[in-house]
Amino acid sequence: MHKPDTFASSKDGGNIIYKIKVELYDGPIPESFIKKCKEAPYRVIELRGSHTLQDLHDMIFKAFNRFEQHQYEFQFGGENPMDEKAVCYGLKMLLEGFDDGHEIKDAETTPMIAVDLKVGDTFFYWFDFGDNWMHKCELLSIEESKKDKQRYPKIVERSGPSPAQYYDDID
């Protein structure tokens, strides 16, 4: 994970702050959990344009109280999850030799600023290819950093409980 920083230049997107809402969209969620939630749990994360998609993954992982790492993928430009028109970013080195027909770009080296998002754009984050946790992400704002001493990335809002990463009994 990228260590929180206190400075960066405008050329690499370091003075630009992205605010992203990450909402739980689908996954192996028991009926009992769904009944106690009035709306889908979400988290709001802020990070610099110079932070990578790997950094965003790390913050989502932390924000939803996950404890065991798994493969993940960001899907940009699709209408829905798993849209074949989406541009996908993941852990490229883990996918070497695996070809399911779509190209995976490297999330570990791609900074947020390189994805070319606009306010209001949505994209999907798929975590754990076995359990299929899917999240819908929305870019809420892009702003210039006003306080050089702010530490990023960070979770700035939480709504609803985090579902357990694994359930022994699924209702």
Give residue 88's domain range: 16-159
Instruction: Indicate whether 39 pLDDT > 80.
Output: yes
* 7 DSSP assignment: -
Q: What is the CATH number of the domain that holds 154?
A: 3.10.290.30
Decide if 76 is inside a domain. Answer: yes
Domain assignment present for residue 60? The answer is yes
CA separation for the pair 145, 139 (Å, rounded): 16
pLDDT of 148 higher than 70: no
Q: For residue 162, give the nearest of 59, 65, 57 by alpha carbon.
A: 65
- The rounded mean pLDDT for the chain is 85
Residue 3 — very low, low, confident or very high, per pLDDT cuts 50/70/90?
A: very low
pLDDT exceeds 60 at position 146: yes
Q: How far is CA 104 from the centre of its chain?
A: 16
Q: Which of 135, 136, 137, 140 is nearest to 118 (CA)?
A: 140
- Residue 144 inside a domain? The answer is yes
Contacts of 99 (CB under 8 A, 6+ apart): none
Would you state the pLDDT for residue 93?
65
The reported pLDDT for the residue numbered 4 is 40
Q: Which pLDDT band holds residue 97 (cuts at 50, 70, 90)?
A: low
C-alpha dihedral (9, 143, 65, 108), degrees to nearest 10: -40
Kindly indicate the confidence band of residue 169, based on its pLDDT and cuts at 50, 70 and 90.
very low
User: Does some domain include residue 92?
Assistant: yes
pLDDT digits over 47-90, tens only?
Answer: 999 999 999 999 999 999 998 888 899 999 999 999 999 999 99
Q: Is the pTM of this model over 0.75?
A: yes
Q: How many structural domains is the chain composed of?
A: 1
pLDDT at 156 over 70: yes
What distance in Å separates the CA atoms of residue 110 and residue 83, rounded to the nearest whole number?
21
143, part of any domain:
yes
Q: Classify residue 3: in a domain, yes or no.
A: no
On the question of pLDDT at 121 being above 70, the answer is yes
